[in-house]
Structure 1
Amino acid sequence: MAHDTTAAGALLAVENLRTWFHTFSGTVKAVNGVSFSLKPGEIMGLVGESGGGKSVVGFSILGLIDPPGRIEGGRILFNGEDLVAAGEPRLRRIRGRDIAMVFQDPMTSLNPLRTVGEQMDEMLRLHTDLDARARRERCIRMLEDVGISRAAERLASYPHQFSGGMRQRVVIAIAMLAEPKLVIADEPTTALDVTIQAQILKLMRHQIREHGASMILITHDLAVVSEMADHITVLYCGKVVERGATDDVIRRPAHPYTRGLIDSIPNPEHRTARLSQIPGAVPDIRKLPKGCTFRDRCPRAAAICATSEPDLTLAGGRAFACHFPLEEGETR
């Protein structure tokens, strides 16, 4: 059995993370043994269908798991410090300053009753020693950096006075204000139209590179990740099923689930072809089947898949959990 490992010199190392929710209808093992690492300056895509545990990983890193959920085990090492063992006062100092989050819907993270300037200023007051004038100057500069014109005037505007794309730019500006080392972006463009999506993703990548930060991009969209990320981690039913460099995973997927996600991406060269889809649905995570959780949807499943859960195999910088991994060039 090969053991999952995390890279030396990592900014973030998630080791065997288990975040479960204890409900009246059963225990939901939303994240169940997830490991990965992220070096300074890297962008990692965390990919999978809804219900796979992606967002729970992000909330676990920030210590934002509320009852009935709790982190049952594992470590989250940020700059060598275990965030699982850190208390709430320590986590409050880390959030925003060292680790920031960009949420899917900007209206859930912006206060509708306060101006954008007030909300940006609060971030700087909490996490920097800048005086009022310096804080205002940084807020204006950051709004300009994310492409908002008349930035000084717009500080006095309320969130509802911005379009959806502009609100998401404001959220990105707030996230980058205190110059965090890590940004977690949870489906940051899902609520936006396609044209605005492309602009926001380009902007985020530029801001991350410009400030020397790292980013975890949480999404169901492999097409987005292929343009943005250095590495990809694929989750299914709370576990890592594949992990590796973006080009390797996209060009030579080892797990049938990853192959299915790639095949479901529209191909402009085959406009009249019917879109491929993964058959079936994600199983009820409260009552996961024995063996491989993907077996009922997998065209390669055999008898062993019903009785034995595949270990995460490490080979040449890649990791995959499958009894019958795809060979290079295979489509199914």
Structure 2
Amino acid sequence: MLEHGGRLRLAALQFGIALPQWLDLSTGIAPYGWALPDIPASAWQRLPETEDGLEAAARDYYGCSTLLPVAGSQAAIQALPRLRRKSIVGMLPLAYAEHAAAWRRHGHKLLSFSEASINRALNRLDVLVLINPNNPTGRLIEPEQLLAWHSRLAERGGWLVVDEAFIDCTPEQSLARFSHLPGLIVLRSFGKFFGMAGVRLGFVLAQQHLLQNLAEMLGPWPISGPTRVVATALLKDVSGQSAQRQRLLSDSQRLADLLAAQGLPALGGCPLFQWVATERAPQLYEYMANQGILLRHFEQPESLRFGLPAGESGWQRLCTALEAFNESLG
């Protein structure tokens, strides 16, 4: 199993700090949501049914014609490599590691290269996998460039897989509206923007025949009844989405400003996190963890991803800890 953020219980054991005392900034999940709808007893008692409005609400929200709900976008990441014959798959070296692990696990050949090298490498590829915005760098590639790469791949039966887990605050940058095109597969995460990672819900946007094959592979009832009720309501809540988007954009800028003021300017980021590359990353990670603040540490390159605090006490705690770390350096 690969390492991920959010392993708060493990951190509590490692650093000897009780679970309620932690400030978890190790994930790119919105730290706040909104009021949840009532869940009728039937959602718990009956098998889920696809005619309940979830798919229609999701199509409206994403602006696409066809999609498939899955148990978190992770389910699609693990399943998609099983839908292709052995292929040559390209991706960036610093990206969400589950993609590479899934394609490698099923016998595909992986090539790693920089974004600047994609144009040259594309003729060798059957599949190009990108996270947009990228995790953890936050790098966002413009739709026009993505569509140009897709066109070259699709001409010879290739795929462009775009993981848009962090794009909800900038929907104009999404390829969702183009997901009907052959060879284009867009993955969306419900839990990150809506702050509900625990419901384990994501969506695959693609041509219908690919979605049918994926649905048969994953089997019936991948999404629980209560999850379908909650997600349908939130996907329809346009005013709530607007408020969430504005707050995330504002808090992300606040976080970037705070880090810069403490000598840690972000090299990248998006509305759900900021990414800082620094040789002091291991020391800062350990120092913050000993203060009960959990960050996400990456080793290649040495860097840290900072998520957003949920409230003012968290913001003050983060600022105080960063100031104390700088003072400890002399």
Give the shorter-chain TM-score range: under 0.3
Which structure ranks higher in relative contact order (CA pairs < 8 Å, sequence separation ≥ 6)?
Answer: 2
TM-score (norm 1): 0.25
Counting strand residues as a fraction of each chain, which structure ranks higher? 1
Counting helix residues as a fraction of each chain, which structure ranks higher? 2
